[in-house]
Chains A and B, each alone.
Chain A
Amino acid sequence: MKTLLSKQELIDFENEIADLFNNKMIKAPIHLDQGCEEQLLEIFKEIDETDFICCSWRSHYRALLKNLSPDILKKYILEGRSISICDKEHNIFSSAIVSGNVSIGLGIAMAYKQNKEKRPDGTDKRVWCFIGEMTSCHGSFFECLTYAENFKLPITYIVEDNGKSVKTPTREVIGNNKLPFEPQLFDDDGDTLEDFENGKVIRSSSHLYWFKYSFEKWQHSGTNTRIQF
C-alpha cells in the first residue's frame, strides 16, 4: 500500500510521544518503536489498505503505516492505549498478551477465506500478524503457522526479532541460538546468513517473514528510564 510517512517521520512521531511521556502527559505504559523502520516500510508495500493487521503491545509504526492518522494515534496514546491500539476503520487489532494475536489473526484469515474476501484489485485479502521472536517459540505459534500452511489461509506472520524479551536475551532462555522457525538459509534462494544478520527481511514462505533488528534507544516500556508498573 502507499504509505504516507517516511522513515524520518516515523522516528519523529516516536520522539514526540517520548517527549509527551517524559512530560507526564501519558499516564499509562507506552511501547515505542525503533530500528525496524526500513523493514516495515518494505513489508507494508505488500499490504493493502483493506487487509487486516494484528499487532502486539508495540504497534505505533504499524498503525501509522496502515494509514491511521498520526493525530488519531496520538489521541489513542494520550488516552492510555499505546499498549493495545485498535481501530476498526483501518482494520487494526492489537493485543498486549504474548501470542494473543496469533490465533485471532488466524481466525480472521479463516473468515476471509470462507467469504472469498477480495481487495479492490481482485487479489485475496490478507491478514498480517506481527510478533516478536519469543512469541515464535510459543505452542500457539506452531499450531497457527502449521494450520495456516496446511489449509492455505491468507495470513502472513512477521517475526520482528530484536533478540530480547523485555530485557532478557531470548535465545539464552530458550537454550538454543537457533529458534524453532528461524529462517533456514541453506536452500540457496539468494538470501545469506549475512543478509539475515544485517536485517534483511527473509521471506521463508508466504506465511512467514522474519527480520532481525537492533532495539537500543528505548526501554521495553517507556522511554530511557525504566518505570516499574
Chain B
Amino acid sequence: MSYFSELERAMTFLGEKEDTFFIGQALIYDGTAQYKTCLNVPRNKIIEPPIWENTQLGMSIGMALTGKTIISVFPRLNFLSCAMDQLSNHLDKISIYSNGEFKPKVIVRSSIGSVKPLNPQAQHRGDYTDGFKLFCPNMNIVRLDRTEDIFPAYEKAYLDDKPSLLIEWADKLNG
C-alpha cells in the first residue's frame, strides 16, 4: 500500500459512483502529480477547464447544486488560494445562508507542493491547511499525513453532507 496507490484507489472508488463528476486542471492531459491517480476514472466523467481557479470552483458548485457530487482538483494549495472567493464565501457558506435549501457536495482535492527533487520555491509549495480551516469553518478539511488516512477520508467525504477539502503531500505522492 503506497500513498499513490491509495489515492488511485480513492479516485477509482469515486469514479465508479453514479453521481460523481471530476473537474480540474491536468486531468485529461498529463501535467501534474495527480493526473495518474485518475486514470481509472471514465473519461466521460472528467472536464478539464481552462486555468481559472475561481471559475472552476464556481462551476463545480453549480454542477453540485443539481445533485451531483463534484470532485474539483487543484494541483497545489497556492493555486487553490486563487479560488478563495468561491471556496470561503460560497462553498463553505451556501448551506448556511440558504438556510439549508442548498448543500452543494463538492470534494476539493489539492496538495502541498513537492520540494524534491526540485524545489519550486515560495509560490508553489505552501501548506496553508490551518489558514483554509479559518476561512472555511463549515467544511471538512483534512491533511492527509498518513497513507492509511487517504481512502477513509475520501469515503467519508463522499458520504458526508458537508463539502470537503482534502490536502495531499505531493512529495509522498511522488514516492
Query: Residues of A at under 8 Å CB distance from B?
Result: 52, 76, 79, 81, 84, 86-88, 93, 95-97, 100, 102-112, 114-115, 140, 143-144, 147
Interface of A is mostly: helix
Asked whether any CB of chain A lies closer than 8 Å to the CB of B89, the reply is yes
Asked whether any CB of chain A lies closer than 8 Å to the CB of B126, the reply is no
Q: In angstroms, how far is the closest chain B Cβ from the Cβ of A175?
A: 24
Closest 6 A-B residue pairs measured CB to CB? Answer: A107-B62, A103-B58, A86-B98, A107-B59, A111-B66, A104-B62
Q: In angstroms, how far is the closest chain B Cβ from the Cβ of A46?
A: 21
**A residues less than 8 Å from B98 (CB atoms):** 84, 86, 88, 93
* CB-defined A-B contacts under 8 Å, sample of 20: A84-B97, A86-B102, A88-B102, A97-B90, A100-B90, A103-B54, A103-B56, A103-B59, A104-B59, A104-B65, A106-B59, A106-B62, A107-B61, A107-B64, A108-B62, A108-B66, A111-B65, A140-B58, A143-B52, A147-B55
**A residues less than 8 Å from B101 (CB atoms):** 86-88
Q: Which of B58, B60, B99 contacts A79 (CB 8 A)?
A: B99
Q: In angstroms, how far is the closest chain A Cβ from the Cβ of B95?
A: 10
The answer to whether B66 touches A112 (Cβ under 8 A) is yes
The answer to whether A100 touches B65 (Cβ under 8 A) is no
The answer to whether B86 touches A111 (Cβ under 8 A) is no
Q: In angstroms, how far is the closest chain B Cβ from the Cβ of A54?
A: 8
The answer to whether A111 touches B90 (Cβ under 8 A) is no
Q: Which of B66, B86, B90 contacts A115 (CB 8 A)?
A: B66
The residue on B at minimum CB distance from A76 is B99
Q: Which of B21, B49, B55, B102 has the most CB of A within 10 A?
A: B55
The answer to whether A106 touches B99 (Cβ under 8 A) is no
The answer to whether A100 touches B66 (Cβ under 8 A) is no
**A residues less than 8 Å from B66 (CB atoms):** 108, 111-112, 115
The residue on B at minimum CB distance from A115 is B66
**B residues less than 8 Å from A106 (CB atoms):** 55, 58-59, 62
Q: Which of B54, B62, B65, B97 has the most CB of A within 10 A?
A: B62
**A residues less than 8 Å from B86 (CB atoms):** 100, 103-104
Asked whether any CB of chain A lies closer than 8 Å to the CB of B6, the reply is no
**A residues less than 8 Å from B58 (CB atoms):** 100, 102-104, 106-107, 140
Asked whether any CB of chain A lies closer than 8 Å to the CB of B117, the reply is no
Asked whether any CB of chain A lies closer than 8 Å to the CB of B68, the reply is yes
Q: In angstroms, how far is the closest chain B Cβ from the Cβ of A92?
A: 9
**B residues less than 8 Å from A96 (CB atoms):** 97
Mask, B53-95, CB within 8 Å of A = 1, is: 0111111111111101000000000000000011001100010
The answer to whether A86 touches B62 (Cβ under 8 A) is no
The residue on B at minimum CB distance from A106 is B59
Asked whether any CB of chain A lies closer than 8 Å to the CB of B50, the reply is yes
**B residues less than 8 Å from A110 (CB atoms):** 47, 59, 62-63
**B residues less than 8 Å from A108 (CB atoms):** 62-63, 65-66
The residue on A at minimum CB distance from B64 is A107
A64 to B58, CA, bound (A): 25
Asked, given contacts A86-B101, A95-B90, whether A109 binds B50 with beta carbons under 8 Å apart, the answer is no
